[in-house]
Amino acid sequence: MLNARRPTLLGDARPVRLPDALGLGAVYRITQGPGLDAARSPNGIIGSADIAAKPTLLVGFTTPRSAILDPSEWLAARVLVHEAFHIHQSGWKPYPTPQPKPMEYPRDAENAALALLEDAVLSVPPSRPLPTAVSTLRTYLAIRAARRLRLPEADRYDRFYQYFEGTARFVEDRYVRMSGHQIADRTEDLTDGFVLLDWLARRRGYSVGASCGELLDSVVGPKWRTRIPEGEAQADIAASILGVPDAAYRERLIAEAKATFDYPKLLAMVQRADLPSVEGPPTGR
């Protein structure tokens, strides 16, 4: 629990000491009581809200896919770190644009396939050598520039979710690795139109932001992280450091990526998935 006003009402609350630099406020652990009962409820949630004018982490373990997580399992700890970091983010400079709505994401097969090509380019392990990290980021920036020219309105989705969710995922993944665990399998069935739409509009921001963060660490070390709280998304930081490839260089990098990752197959998959034009089921983290 974070910043609970009266933690003992939620169970056998015991203080947990975490580094002050996290900026999380008062943290408590409970092993039994009403708070844990609520967390185990099928109607529980994962997220944060203001309670008694204080940001409070609410912990529950049900998603719209009806996957109930045991609070004693490792995955629950990973989710808690992610959500706790969102509390830390609440003290950052306000983001200049509101949260985009995934169902309003523009439907465009070419844009979608290029976004999946970006994902393929960025799917490299962390701690890459400097030349590999630079070339990976440059190829990503080239594809991103082509997408922005083709469909500028998609850019605000990329930036927003990279900034908020990608940074939290970066912290989450660092926590996982430092704790000696394996990163969870986050494979999505992108042949389903609704799943693909949510991936494009929202969920890929988690992995793209985290991957760019890891690559930036390889290129310039941790100093890039000081720019995130000022409202810069990871891709924008990478572009300011490395520059965006010019038109001729961009086309060459994109052509190489398309050949490497079988772009026609990605485009065909998007076309078969048939991005929905009506509102579908709710999606969760």
Over residues 21-78, the pLDDT tens digits come to 555 567 777 778 776 665 555 444 444 444 444 544 454 433 333 344 444 555 666 7
Query: In terms of C-beta density within 10 A (0-12 exposed, 13-18 middle, 19 or more buried), how is residue 280 classed?
Result: middle
What average pLDDT does the segment 243-247 reach? 97
Q: What is the pLDDT of residue 10?
A: 72
Which one is predicted more confidently, 85 or 49?
A: 85
Q: What is the pLDDT of residue 5?
A: 66
pLDDT at 215 exceeding the cut of 90: yes
2 — pLDDT class (breaks 50, 70, 90): low
Q: What is the pLDDT of residue 91?
A: 87
Q: Apex CA 100: angle with CA 97 and CA 104, to 5°?
A: 140
3 — pLDDT class (breaks 50, 70, 90): low
Which one is predicted more confidently, 19 or 241?
A: 241
Enter the tokens of residue 49.
């809200």
4 — pLDDT class (breaks 50, 70, 90): low
What average pLDDT does the segment 202-230 reach? 96
Enter the tokens of residue 104.
């309003």
Q: What is the pLDDT of residue 178?
A: 83
DSSP secondary structure of the chain:
-BS-SSGGGGSS-EE----GGG----BEE-SSSHHHHHHHSTT--EEEEEETTEEEEEE----TT--PPPTTSHHHHHHHHHHHHHHHHTTSPPPSSPPPPGGGSPP-HHHHHHHHHHHHHH---SS--HHHHHHHHHHHHHHHHHHHHH-GGGHHHHHHHIIIIIHHHHHHHHHHHHTT-PPP-----TTSHHHHHHIIIIIHHHHHHHHHHHHHHHHHGGGGGGGGGGT--HHHHHHHHH----HHHHHHHHHHHHHHTTHHHHHHHHHHH---SS-------
**Average pLDDT over the chain, rounded to an integer:** 83
116 — pLDDT class (breaks 50, 70, 90): very high
**Exposure string (b/e) for 251-268, b if CB count within 10 Å is 16 or more?**
eebbeebbeebebeebbe
What average pLDDT does the segment 212-216 reach? 97
Tens of pLDDT, residue by residue over 149-175, are 999 999 999 999 999 999 999 999 998
Q: What is the pLDDT of residue 249?
A: 98
How many CA atoms within 13 Å lie on the side-chain side of 111? 22
Q: What is the pLDDT of residue 35?
A: 65
Q: What is the pLDDT of residue 118?
A: 98
Which one is predicted more confidently, 33 or 118?
A: 118
- The answer to whether the pTM exceeds 0.85 is no
pLDDT at 18 exceeding the cut of 70: no
Enter the tokens of residue 93.
């400079």
